[in-house]
A = this chain, B = another copy of it.
Amino acid sequence: MLELQSLSIDQYGFIGNVFSFGLAVMASTTLFLWLMMSSAAPTYRMAITISGLVTAIAAYHYLQIMLSWDGAASVASGEVVVSGEGFNRAYRYVDWLLTVPLLLVELILVMKLSKAETLSRSIRLGGAAALMIVLGYPGEVAGNVGTRAIFWILSMIPFIYIVRELVIGLKESISKQPDNVKGLISKAAILVVASWAFYPIVYLLPLLGVTGGSAIVVVETGYTIADIMAKAVFGLLIFVIAIRKSEAEADVNAVEAAPAEQASPVKKGS
């Protein structure tokens, strides 16, 4: 239902630039996270490693999306000419299938819960996230509005479960977090919920009568902004939480190690 031939030259070029922007943001976030990883205490490095993996996987898929976009059409004698190869919408879904469970795991890991709670929450949230993506795909590629609506409803079930878990289920665990990060962890959970709210809205647009070239512009730009919020901005927030917790724990250790001396921070990594 989203046909490339309805795009103007400007729209076709604009979306290509949006994809390139997405690739640049994801790749540079990955590099930042991994280069700075050693400033966090070892306990938090897995959370940062996975934050960087999420943006790395997204960078790879934005590259694929960009190449598929370039191959799907070309500009000739003032018009967008469709090549027949088709624009591969599946890359976004393959990306989400891998990254959405992982970014929930990031949030759980940075909270440093007990091993049992970490495992059970990762499996429940990660599994629900994977199910949500799998149920969304058939509607995305369907040619008719009815199928799109049915799969929208189906994938909203795990979506609502995850939101409920993040807003209510994690409340007690968040209340046990150190004071200097409690607010940030709540913000990270809210950022997930808020950025995820984009996706079902963008997905619904073709049902709301938004069609033609501008529908493609809104859908692709909307998904890209939501991806940047949910992966890059979220990953940086996880990084800040990891650094703050590392600093607080270094202070506590310093006090315990040298109770008679002044409780100065041993190393307050940047």
Chain A positions near chain B (C-beta within 8 angstroms): 9, 13-14, 16-17, 20-21, 23-25, 27-28, 31-32, 34-37, 39, 42-43, 45-46, 49-50, 52-53, 56-57, 60-61, 64, 74-78, 84-86, 88, 90-91, 94-95, 97-98, 109, 267-270
Contacts and interface: CB of A to CB of B under 8 A. Distances in A.
A31 B57 CA distance: 11
10 contacts: A17-B90, A20-B94, A24-B98, A31-B49, A32-B53, A34-B35, A35-B37, A36-B46, A75-B84, A77-B84
Given A14-B90, A34-B35, A43-B270, 6 more contacts: A13-B86, A17-B88, A24-B61, A24-B94, A31-B49, A35-B37
Contact of A36 (B45, B64, B75, B95): B45
A2 to B, nearest CB: 16
A36 B50 CA distance: 10
Contact of A28 (B39, B57, B75, B90): B57
Contacts of A109: 270
Contacts of A53: 28, 31-32
Contacts of A31: 49, 52-53, 56
Contact of A32 (B25, B27, B50): B50
Contact of A49 (B36, B91, B95): B36
A257 to B, nearest CB: 12
A77 B85 CA distance: 9
B28 A64 contact: no
A46 B78 CA distance: 46
Given A39-B45, A43-B269, A24 B75 contact: no
Nearest to A53: B28
A50 B270 CA distance: 13
Q: When A and B form their complex, which 5 residue pairs have the shortest distance between CB atoms, in order from nearest?
A: A42-B269, A17-B90, A35-B49, A21-B94, A76-B84
Nearest to A141: B10
A184 to B, nearest CB: 13
B94 A17 contact: yes
Contacts of A23: 60
B64 A74 contact: no
